Amino acid sequence: MRPRKGVPYERWLVAQAGKALEAKVKAAEAKLAASAKEVATLEAAAVKKKAATDIAAKAVAAAQEKSAAAKTKTAEAGKEISGKQAAFDVAVARKESARIRAKFAAQMVSELKAVIAAGDTAKSGASDDAKAALSAAWGRSFAAADLLPLAPEQLCWSAMQATGQIAAQRTARAAHFGSIF
């Protein structure tokens, strides 16, 4: 654009600069208004997100409290289970003890019957059968057993052990192997 006739160029230039400046100010004001709206929108979103975060934090705290309570209950249940397991083990041991005592009592009864039968048969003359029954009953309870001869190796080992020869042989063998290696 050119200045009108009669208007000094400087004045026209200032007027043009003023118009350009006003246009820039209006554009800046429009940007400022848009930015203000955007800031308001972002602040509103931030408030909503903060509220959601606070709710989530409360939910996490509640879940942690429930977890702690559950851990406590689990620990208590574990202690209770341990106590009941110990009581159960005691009951099982008592039951086993009672079973062993009953078995021993039954064995004693059979032995007594054999002894009574041996006494009765000694009077009647059939003592061999009674002695065999009594020997079998005492053998089952390890009260008495038939003696059996030792094998030659067992006899030799027992004699060497009684005379101290095994210890001497071990010492000599250790010295011999120690000198080799």
What does the DSSP assignment read for 30-68? Answer: HHHHHHHHHHHHHHHHHHHHHHHHHHHHHHHHHHHHHHH
C-alpha distance from residue 33 to each of 23, 26, 43, 89 (Å): 15, 10, 15, 82
pLDDT computed for residue 168 by the predictor: 93
Who contacts 120 (Cβ-Cβ below 8 Å, separation ≥6)? 130
Q: Which pLDDT tens digit goes with each residue over 73-121?
A: 999 999 999 999 999 999 999 999 999 989 888 877 877 777 776 666 5
Closest by alpha carbon to 121, among 109, 133, 129, 111? 129
The answer, yes or no, to whether residue 24 has pLDDT greater than 70, is yes
Q: Which pLDDT tens digit goes with each residue over 35-68?
A: 999 999 999 999 999 999 999 999 999 999 999 9
The answer, yes or no, to whether residue 19 has pLDDT greater than 80, is yes
pLDDT computed for residue 146 by the predictor: 65
| Number of residues written out for the chain | 181
Helix (H, G, I), strand (E, B) or coil at 166: helix
Residue 125 pLDDT level (bands cut at 50, 70, 90): low
Give CA–CA dist 119/136, Å, rounded: 16
